[in-house]
Structure 1
């Protein structure tokens, strides 16, 4: 007999053909907050807060709308995020739709150097995409807390997510992950919050590193929307023809 959860999973698998073949990669939303001069943190041991409560709530709402959230290993190591939907009402709304209370959590590793005690692994379903040479090392490290999947490139990662029913992936950092997805041209929507201050320290991590980006002086990204958030501003860029209204 069909269940609500089963119907929800079937709906999430709409990117699959009848034979199970992947027909479309997940929609990729990249979300980031940066200072006016493009830094996503400072060089101090404490995490720099670039957003206010209103923006944290906005991001929580975006999380609740996604099927999966990805953070890179440096972000997990430095910020120790839980990557959960914070609002009880939004968690309850997801459950009422037959979904888990919080999206699937995703990370990537090329070294296998992940700490199983990190809060990222404490709650919810976790997928770790590991470079082929370190798959077994990664399974020894976090296999009790996560599903470890071989993947050496973004196309493989996104195809596997699509096969698991992930329709929307939210990428939340850090700089290496932003650069990887953007230079590959695999981001559909960029939500960039510009905080109203400067960091001014080249030791700090920037929004992206060096790379050959598809959007440049000759091929500009399209600005889809601008939303003030107090003294900060949300810039929403359409980076593909799949970008949602």
Structure 2
């Protein structure tokens, strides 16, 4: 599967503030860029922490992009994927509405009742892994469902996991001209961190967008 990670961070590398509240790091031009990227992908993935904190919709904002997808024989919006080992996705979360298909990636330890509730709410639940989501196995199963390209938008715990498993092909980072600070504020990649075998990046392009800069990388194998 072709996997692109895209995120917006402050100059000091933060995704949001210490209370994990959304911060407007980028502006309308970058929002349009992200909408275009979403439209080109089969699926958009986030971690359950992002769902709980931000309640994202993960659909396309531009009706013209939805129409282009329909003309290509695709659904108007990409499939939504949530990495959620324990089934914590709220049943009223916007990712569970009917504007697009939704897959919940979870683990064997999920409460069976909760699994049924998520399915009743409209999600397709994929169980992969014992105590936490086995991302490589889950990605393989998503491919079996016809998903060939995916955009991952965070948060930091999920991004650590996909980098640690070597699943990422490309990384796009928009750096907004602001400083957030806070030792507890989430960064682009959180999780356990790397002591060695650091993911190696190759810088491809640098583009100024509004008052920020977009860095585009490929991952070295």
Structure 1 ranges of 4+ moved more than 3 A: 213-216
2:105 equivalent to 1:129: yes
Per the alignment, residue 155 of structure 2 pairs with 174
- After TM superposition, the structure 1 = structure 2 runs for residues 32-47 of structure 1, keeping only pairs within 5 Å, are 32-44=7-19, 46-47=21-22
Per the alignment, residue 104 of structure 1 pairs with 79
Per the alignment, residue 235 of structure 1 pairs with 215
> Residue 224 of structure 1: which of 195, 204, 216 is its match?
204
2:178 equivalent to 1:197: yes
Query: Does structure 2 conserve the Cα–Cα contact (< 8 Å) formed by 1:28 and 1:189?
Result: yes
Deviations 1:33-63 (A, max 9, x none): 1111110001347421111000000000000
Per the alignment, residue 127 of structure 2 pairs with 150
Structure 1: unaligned runs, 5 residues or longer: 1-25
For 2:182 and 2:79, the matched residues in 1 are separated by 34
Report deviation, 1:220: 3.9
Per the alignment, residue 194 of structure 2 pairs with 212
Deviations 1:169-213 (A, max 9, x none): 100111111111011111000001111111111121111114227
Name the SS of the counterpart of 1:143 in structure 2.
helix
- Of structures 1 and 2, the larger Rg is shown by 1
Taking a change above 3 Å as real, the CA distance of residues 134 and 99 of structure 1, as seen in their structure-2 partners, is same
Give the TM-score, by structure 2 length: 0.91
Give the TM-score, by structure 1 length: 0.83
Taking a change above 3 Å as real, the CA distance of residues 68 and 35 of structure 1, as seen in their structure-2 partners, is same
For 2:127 and 2:111, the matched residues in 1 are separated by 6
